[in-house]
Structure 1
Amino acid sequence: MARARISDVAAAAGVSTATVSLVLNDRTARITDATRDRVRRAAEEVGYTPNSVARGLRTQRSHTVGLISDRIATTPFAGRMLAGAQDVAREHGILVFLVDTDADETVEREAIRALAAQQVDAMIYACMWHRVVDAPSSLPRGTVFLDCRPADGGFPAVVPDDRAGGVAAVRALVAAGHRRIAYVDVDEPHPPVASDLRHEGYLQVLAEAGIDPDPALHVRCDTSSAGGREATDRLLDLPEDHRPTALFCFNDRIAAGAYVAAHRRGLAVPQDLSIVGYDDQQLVAADLDPPLTTVALPHYEMGRWAMEVALGIRTPDDPDAPHLMPCPIVDRDSVGPPPATAASDSRRRT
């Protein structure tokens, strides 16, 4: 079947091809509503779709954006980032070209070259988790960094405000009356940026509450349920007057392991041990028993912000500093007051 042409629309609507072109390009200031509606109805009836290549040649825009990621396209944690970016693109008639490089630098260079050859209007460079990265030299000016920030600056970027997220988590525990609060951190040779930022938030709240940090309550483990179980066992093996009454866990999987360790000792959450996680991971946080109070990573909001900046819809407040996206606490049922004996012990020491 032959592709419908603009002349077919003009014949069906009883107008000139120039009028059809004006209507379909939304330049209708001098065209009556009745004519405009007739042209659009005729275009639909004959099955006419604009030639995007020809339109791009006229407007010098391709109405496409390239999104390069290390591996977020295959990772459930960050799928919401893609959803946020794609929703904005869809709202503005933009097609997104997604390339998942699996953190391969050669693939990344080829992807940047291919997207540039396609004359995409903008690029977004995304990471699976909050990182500081060296910006590839071939990235065009104005590329937006998503869930990462370039080490030398020079590009707009958006990352989660992990320090403030740590503050929110520990304040919830202090507000419930806890003073022996452990931070169950990640144990990796090169810890992620978020590890130190969340620890800084933890220390800030302890200082605000007049609580001296106890090095024994900062433990590290693998970022898994098994790691959380092992780390919690170490904390619960401390003498009774030193063991924590609350845990702030680096992520929800560690928190899930903490639940297991507590239950194996006959401890109830939150009656005997309060727990706060981080991530608000689907199929984990809300499905624990009781549901886990946690801090949500704003993946969707970051994805929207990045695409809005890439399209020129939004201007960064400070182009030389990354935008810190708030990480809200999600209150569920895993935080309560400390056990009565622990509260009285804490008051005696202070």
Structure 2
Amino acid sequence: MAKVGIRDVSRAAGVSVTTVSHALSETHQSRVNPETREHVQQVAARLGYAPNRIAVALRNQRSQLLGFVSDEIASTPFAGELVLGAQDAAYERGWLLMLVDSGRNPELEEKQVNTLLQHQVDGIVIAKMYHQEASVPAAVAGIPAVLLDAFDPEGTLSSVVPDEVGAASTAVQELIDAGHRRIGFINNSDDIPAAFGRLEGYRAALAAAGIGFDPDLVTRQAPEVPGGRAGAEKLLGLAEPPTALFCFHDRQAFGAYEVAARLGLRIPDDLSVVSIDNFEIIADGLWPGLTSVALPHYEMGRWAVTRLLDEIEHPEEAGEPVHLDFECPIVRRGSVAPPHSSSPGPEASS
């Protein structure tokens, strides 16, 4: 089947080649009235016309390619949403995404960036598997780049991360609104921005509700199911245990559910639990379902590519680098209820 060219679209649409070129160009679309532009685009789609990417690149001095450099996200549960958001944003603007994953190997990452540059990418998204300070590969200097789920302490690159403080505050507020006043927090033992931000959000929500901070109600544990078990055992073993638990993420909440069951506590009747991640395999798989604050991976991926393309295509309008803390919505399931008058414990559930 012969390739459809711009002259074929011109004949079928009954307009000049120049009009077709302008109507199908992101840069010059405004030169054609909306009705004609829509007509030309519909004809082009019906005929299966695709622009010659090499010719477009030569005219624009761009490859229309973006690099997406990941440290390990391709093997994490949320990778699909990050990549899908980035890919959708690129596709909608007529660009393609080239994805590489370094497996958290800095030397390999440097080589991958150099390879992407050899393929003439016009910009690079540097994505991390969790919110962290980023070490930017030296090869990236001099080309547009955006950090995804990471930040540059020097502020030289635009970046997007979850609003950790807001996410924790939202989770704790859910418990406060249900009537809980004694709320335990199983935090992450790692020294990472998310752990500090979520502690800040926990304390802020308590303070806003007039609830004093009790350090005995906070424990730092490994960010895995066993860490959740250890944290729940410690907090629920207090002389005056909490009526609710806020967990750093859903894997810890899974461990907390196990401990509650072993102690004879019913969720949410005897103990309420909230978390952060909205990892659906866990949050939907637990019974009752786990109320969890979602990390907006898809939205962050979209924003990162959209911002990068703005910096590439409209650098003067884009201005200085931007840092965005993305809002995190809560997903309510069945793990929160008002507290009993008595504190939870094996005796309270009998």
1:332 equivalent to 2:333? Answer yes
Return closer, same or farther for 1:138/1:56 CA change in 2, 3 Å cut-off: same
Kindly report the root-mean-square deviation, in angstroms, between the aligned alpha carbons of the 2 structures. Answer: 3.2
1:51 is matched with: 52
Give 1:151 shift.
2.0
Matches of residues 128-139 of structure 1 in structure 2 within 5 Å? 128-139=129-140
2:275 is matched with: 277
Q: Using the alignment, how far apart are the partners of 2:173 and 2:208 within structure 1?
A: 9
Which AA in structure 2 matches 1:134? S
1:212 equivalent to 2:209? Answer no
1:103 is matched with: 104
Give 1:229 shift.
1.6
1:200 is matched with: 200
Give 1:83 shift.
0.9
Q: Is the 8 A contact 1:13 1:38 kept in 2?
A: no
Q: Secondary structure at the match of 2:284?
A: helix
Give 1:164 shift.
0.8
TM superposition score normalised by structure 2: 0.84
Aligned counterpart for 1:170 among listed residues 169, 172, 175: 172
Give CA-to-partner distance per residue, 1:261-305, whole Å, 9 cap, x none.
101111101111110011000211122111111111011111111
Give CA-to-partner distance per residue, 1:183-233, whole Å, 9 cap, x none.
101123xx2210010001111122222322222211122222222122211
User: Which stretch shifts more, 19-28 or 101-110?
Assistant: 19-28
Matched residue count: 333
Q: Secondary structure at the match of 2:69?
A: strand
1:347 is matched with: none
Q: Using the alignment, how far apart are the partners of 1:150 and 1:299 within structure 2?
A: 19
Q: Using the alignment, how far apart are the partners of 1:102 and 1:221 within structure 2?
A: 25
TM superposition score normalised by structure 1: 0.84
Return closer, same or farther for 1:308/1:48 CA change in 2, 3 Å cut-off: closer
Q: Is the 8 A contact 2:123 2:143 kept in 1?
A: no
Q: Is the 8 A contact 2:133 2:151 kept in 1?
A: yes
Return closer, same or farther for 1:333/1:55 CA change in 2, 3 Å cut-off: same
In terms of Rg, which structure is larger? Answer: 1
Q: Is the 8 A contact 2:267 2:288 kept in 1?
A: yes
Which AA in structure 1 matches 2:160? V
Q: Is the 8 A contact 1:65 1:94 kept in 2?
A: yes
Q: Using the alignment, how far apart are the partners of 2:42 and 2:301 within structure 1?
A: 36
1:346 is matched with: none
Give 1:15 shift.
11
2:93 is matched with: 92
Return closer, same or farther for 1:202/1:112 CA change in 2, 3 Å cut-off: same
Give 1:81 shift.
1.0
Q: Is the 8 A contact 1:185 1:219 kept in 2?
A: yes
Matches of residues 108-127 of structure 1 in structure 2 within 5 Å? 108-127=109-128
